[in-house]
Structure 1
């Protein structure tokens, strides 16, 4: 049975959105295709109508997450007040505690380096994000790497006070 194009596209976007959320929450290896399809409200069998492999889904989910970041950066970095508000939200305990709704870079960078298809999507989107920051490229790289690294460290440590200190120090330095 063939579905209307619009309905098929909506299902495809739902799969990508749910995959992006689950991958950011648990990583590529700890999420199965069946889990993604269930989260999207679809059967496992429908997967191959949308993607050729889990790796293709990983690339699409990476691009989706990175494009969401690009949209937020482009919107917020346009003004000094927006830049500060973005950095404050990014370097927050809420973002730290909810990787599934946060930045793909902070959640998946260590895994993306091992995934060639996802890596290509990540690289292209990162270049767009750096351009959208609106600073000299070297400064944009420094800002992005500092924010992403701080979030990764804050998530990795077991000491709550130390985690908050990492976020606070970087937030203060960047704003």
Structure 2
């Protein structure tokens, strides 16, 4: 097999980072093997190390990629414009069954949180993760500050709703968090 062009190599790298970002959020970093990941994008396991120094390096890129994606949790829905309307739209979309059921393209704060907490190998990803949490807290805030309490409530509710998916409690959790943040 011939060598790939620089443009092809860059495209392959982009595909691997995007697939890793999705799969890691769906199942956790440790649950996704490199062979499986490379197969997901049609590449060989051996090609991984031509693109990345280690799985840890890929995790850091996947976290940064997930936070860099333009995440739209909802649209205006006929609400008044401005920070309060945008916050309500964000809360409605974030605390929804659709978001609960789509971990792979969902919130990176929730998707990578457990890995950041339990995996020392994820240390290289902690800075981009922390910066992503801060940006999200600013996005949630209606006054331009950081609303870390709202982020904690939202992420906790999303994780609990995912953990109880398929039960009545799951939807109750989403509604309760939405009600708590409405004020």
What displacement does 1:159 show?
6.8
1:20 aligns with 2:21: yes
Which residues of structure 2 form unaligned runs of 5+? none
CA distance in 2, matches of 1:131, 1:86: 12
1:87-106 map, 5 Å:
87-106=91-110
What displacement does 1:151 show?
0.5
Which residues of structure 1 form unaligned runs of 5+? none
How well do the aligned residues superpose, as a CA RMSD in angstroms?
A: 2.4
1:143 aligns with 2:147: no
What displacement does 1:46 show?
1.1
What displacement does 1:157 show?
3.0
1:3-152 map, 5 Å:
3-68=4-69, 72=72, 79-113=83-117, 114=119, 115-134=122-141, 135=143, 137-138=145-146, 140-152=147-159
What displacement does 1:107 show?
2.0
What displacement does 1:131 show?
3.2
CA deviation string 1:28-49 (max 9, x = no partner): 1110011111112211111111
Scaled by the length of structure 2, what TM-score is found? 0.82
Whichever of the two has the greater Rg, that structure is 2
**Paired residue total:** 172
Scaled by the length of structure 1, what TM-score is found? 0.85
Higher mean Cα deviation, 126-135 or 141-150?
126-135
CA distance in 1, matches of 2:145, 2:85: 20
Higher percent of residues as helix: 1
